[in-house]
Structure 1
Amino acid sequence: MSDSVDPPRVVRTAGAILLNLNGMVGAGIFALPALLYLNIGSFAPVAILLFAIPIACVAALIAKLSTLFERSGGVQLYAETALGKFAGFQTGWLMICASTTGRAANFHVLVSYLAALFPVFEGPVARPVTIIALIAFMTVLGITGTRRSIGGIWIGTLLKFAPLVLLCLVGFGSNGFPAAISLPSFSGMESVALLIAYAFSGFGASVTAAGETRDPRTTLFRSVLFAIGGVAVFYAIVQWAYIAIDPDVGSAETPLAAAGQKLFGDWGAMMISIAAIFSIGTNQLSSFVVWPRILFGMGERQLLPAFFAHVSPRYRTPDHAILAYAGIVTIIALSGSFATLLPLLVAVEQAIFLLLLASLFLFWRSNFRGLRDAMGIAWLVIVPVATAMVLWMAAQIPAAAVLSLAGLAVVGAALYWLARRAVAFERSAGAVAG
């Protein structure tokens, strides 16, 4: 049967790093430099590197847990194994809510960038048609082969990083490296802490596609830590280049385009705008590779109906899960409901991290697959720092977002009940047919 065929393990270390990198670097890098500079001035690059340390500790927890599993699902799978099927379903539900909402919003951002260069993409008809076309393109690419999708991500990554590297090189060459650093006030640092943390969001994307990764227990661990270290250094270099170029800080919405304008004129601004299009596009495409694997994994483990566990006999990809994911993104994008859901993303992400901590503790206590024996003395520092970071970020969640999160959990409980009944019906129907 086609549903019993496993997708091939075609993602290697470089591909896994690429998924993590593009999970983090999307639209944010093109707005981050001005926001940080306006709040903490020349200390911004140092702040990025400092805050990368506790964020890397959180990433290390995901990386460590990835060494225990070889199937797709990531944090959803960890929570399901440690806390049970209900907690696993709720984790998957929250992750899909966060991912599809973010993708829907980013498709609108992507079309806005396209329309800024080519006005034909703007308009009450052109905008939704363009969004549908983009989603269809990424869906087809995802279904016709994971290897092909990774190839597309490689091309997009090169096209988005090349202009940024050029901007940094010319910026430093023309203006020198900004050596002066002024310490900001504590309130200034506090105001950008969450901003920096969110800029690193998506650091563990590759673990979700573990079932299609070669030697996942070692590949994923390396890919998560290498990607977050590389992105931290890259963010800091871009921030230093922005300070060196010193564009008009009034261009806070498009700071790197303003920097390109100052260095190269109009074509420089266009170059950075095109880089932004490829940056958002590859971020979106990587999501179509990663997040449908949550639905696929839940279908495999009978948390969802068998429909979601189907594998294309021709392309050997989880085609039904990809189609379902694309359908949800399309509905949210065209309805505009993402605008009301976006504030929830903060609460959802912290809830997922808290479930991650609970899973780690239970695995450690039971020495699941030798986890406790494999954790050396360094983890006596890593785990407390990561825990403090997650608890601090959770404390920043507004009360209204917590209530909305509770509402999502109630909906998730209802969907869990429906999914369990559907799976039970499939089992009984299969038993009768047998």
Structure 2
Amino acid sequence: MKVETTSNSAISIENTINSSGPRQTEGLRRVLKTRDLVIFGMVFMAPVSAQTLYGSLAQVSNGHAVLSYVIGLIAMIFTAYSYGRMTEAFPIAGSTYTYTSRAIHPYLGFIAGWSMLLDYVLIPMLLYKLSAVYAIELFPSVPLWFMLLVFVVPVTIFNCIGTEVASKVNILMTGIMIVSILLFVGFAIKALLHGIGVGSIFSIQGIYNAQTFTWNSLIGGASIAVLSFLGFDAVTTMAEDSNVTGKIVGKAAVLSCVISAVLYIIQVYFATIVFPDFQSFKSADTAFFEITTVVGGSGLAIVLALIISLSGISTALAGQAAASRLLYGMGREQVLPKLFAHIHPKYKTPAYSILFMAVIGYIGAVAIDLSVMFLIIVFGALIGFLCVNLSVFIEYFVKRKKRNFSGFIFYVLCPLFGLFVCAYILWGMDRIGHIVGFSWLLVGFIYLSITSKGFSKKVNVFKDDSF
């Protein structure tokens, strides 16, 4: 990959309000291509994340993991489309915060960004802890605090050096994760041909079972499956690191979502038919490893456990990078301290934002329970998704007056359907997620009221004060 050496290598806010093409001024270095953006999104979502969720997903959906992922994909694809449209309109770092601020209002944009900040802070934190826990299973004598450092330190160094180096690590780890999926599928096919499970490679039971199917269980499964898709939006936070147009950035988000869904469905399909008795798992958290032990013995289970542990590095790499870009966008526009907008003079990366994310991620991984992290992550993501879907409607249908038939389809029906699905999932969340999530939003609201002097002062989103 060739790195551009010009110092004028990123987009300025002033030059991008009415343009989707890459105009250059001082800021983040543009080195990521379309391929890198797609891989970035896939790494954030993690192709093997279906393995860690499978036990709970299978039990909640009554064995309909495949259909749960299909519904999850349908739900998220509309939101991914909305992100794509907003990236085309405003191809700059900041993502949810930026889009909502420009399309609706800076105050709501801050709340949206604040909610997604919660999401982006917790995703790397969650990945550090999951990776460390799996690694400790392989090396039980190593304490958690030390194993966490093994993951946090290299992730931070790679991100500080720059997105080009990080993208190469992402490509490597994505390849390893896909190989692990193929390895499992190969062993699963061999086991099926030898009479294990349903005894056939093709079985409708892997998709639908009339004896256990209910709509309530399927929707419950879909809400879990959505967890795997949280991360496609991270592609749009890298808009200023890419040398492609905003429209292509949006397409990369959608494409990474679809490709990941295919990989998820393949894994859970074979897991379902090779081990159809989803109620007999010893532990839902380790269900997939019970399955790999059945199809390939303890050797395969250990290999896949090691790969999942290592994949946490690349996924956390993407998560930390996306979070630091969100902090950079909010710091540059002076709704967070200017410290977060600092760019490293050599590597052209938001170094202080990256270091801040590393410290917070480590502390949180030590202190916060995994189940609580899951709930809070979903809450933060869904609030942000609601705002982006609404932003598409406001920006294109209301402001730009795209009101012909195609405009009604793409700027009314699509985003509002995405908004409805996200709201439905948010409404059905566990109470703990609501309590922690709304408490976080309350903190953000108080902070905003203070910095805006009782909402009498504009949040400085547009540098030319044109909002």
What is the TM-score with the length of structure 1 in the denominator? 0.87
User: In the TM superposition, what are the counterparts of 1:253-264 in structure 2 within 5 Å?
Assistant: 253-264=285-296
From 345, 357, 366, give the equivalent of 2:377: 345
Alignment-mate amino acid for residue 232 of structure 2: F
By how many angstroms is 1:190 displaced? 2.9
State the match for 2:88 in structure 1: 67
Cα 1:419–1:144 change in 2 (3 A) is farther
User: In the TM superposition, what are the counterparts of 1:17-416 in structure 2 within 5 Å?
Assistant: 17-25=38-46, 28-40=49-61, 43-121=64-142, 123=143, 127-175=144-192, 176-181=200-205, 182-183=209-210, 184-246=213-275, 249-251=280-282, 252-336=284-368, 342-368=374-400, 376=407, 378-379=409-410, 381-398=413-430, 401-416=433-448
Per-residue CA distance 1:201-232 (angstroms, 9 max, x = gap)? 22211001111112241221221111111122
Q: Count how many residue pairs are aligned between Structure 1 and Structure 2.
A: 418
> More helix per residue: 1 or 2?
1
Alignment-mate amino acid for residue 274 of structure 2: I
1:332–1:338 CA contact under 8 A, matched in 2: no
Shifted more, 173-182 versus 399-408: the winner is 399-408
RMSD across aligned C-alpha pairs, in angstroms?
2.9
Shifted more, 226-235 versus 20-29: the winner is 20-29
Per-residue CA distance 1:166-208 (angstroms, 9 max, x = gap)? 2113322442423233231223213212112222222211001
Gaps of 5+ in 2: 1-6, 11-24, 193-199, 461-467
2:385–2:419 CA contact under 8 A, matched in 1: no
Per-residue CA distance 1:79-116 (angstroms, 9 max, x = gap)? 12123332222222222222222322332221111111
Quote the sequence identity (%). Answer: 18
1:60–1:225 CA contact under 8 A, matched in 2: yes
Cα 1:117–1:139 change in 2 (3 A) is same
Shifted more, 200-209 versus 48-57: the winner is 48-57
1:33–1:239 CA contact under 8 A, matched in 2: yes
State the match for 1:432 in structure 2: none
Shifted more, 202-211 versus 213-222: the winner is 213-222
Gaps of 5+ in 1: 428-434
2:128–2:365 CA contact under 8 A, matched in 1: yes
1:163–1:272 CA contact under 8 A, matched in 2: yes
State the match for 2:20 in structure 1: none
Question: SS of the residue aligned with 1:120?
Answer: coil
Cα 1:165–1:341 change in 2 (3 A) is closer
Alpha-carbon distance between aligned partners in 1 of 2:53 and 2:202, rounded to the nearest angstrom = 18
Alpha-carbon distance between aligned partners in 1 of 2:308 and 2:89, rounded to the nearest angstrom = 36
Per-residue CA distance 1:124-144 (angstroms, 9 max, x = gap)? xxx212323422211111011
Alpha-carbon distance between aligned partners in 2 of 1:104 and 1:40, rounded to the nearest angstrom = 27
2:155–2:313 CA contact under 8 A, matched in 1: no
Alpha-carbon distance between aligned partners in 2 of 1:255 and 1:342, rounded to the nearest angstrom = 18
Alpha-carbon distance between aligned partners in 1 of 2:107 and 2:214, rounded to the nearest angstrom = 45
Cα 1:168–1:99 change in 2 (3 A) is same
Cα 1:413–1:238 change in 2 (3 A) is same
Cα 1:268–1:49 change in 2 (3 A) is same
Question: SS of the residue aligned with 2:59?
Answer: helix
Per-residue CA distance 1:297-350 (angstroms, 9 max, x = gap)? 112222223221111111111112111222222232334477756533333222
Alignment-mate amino acid for residue 271 of structure 2: Y
1:363–1:371 CA contact under 8 A, matched in 2: no
Alpha-carbon distance between aligned partners in 2 of 1:250 and 1:61, rounded to the nearest angstrom = 38
By how many angstroms is 1:377 displaced? 6.0
Question: SS of the residue aligned with 2:141?
Answer: helix
1:16–1:220 CA contact under 8 A, matched in 2: yes
Alignment-mate amino acid for residue 201 of structure 2: F
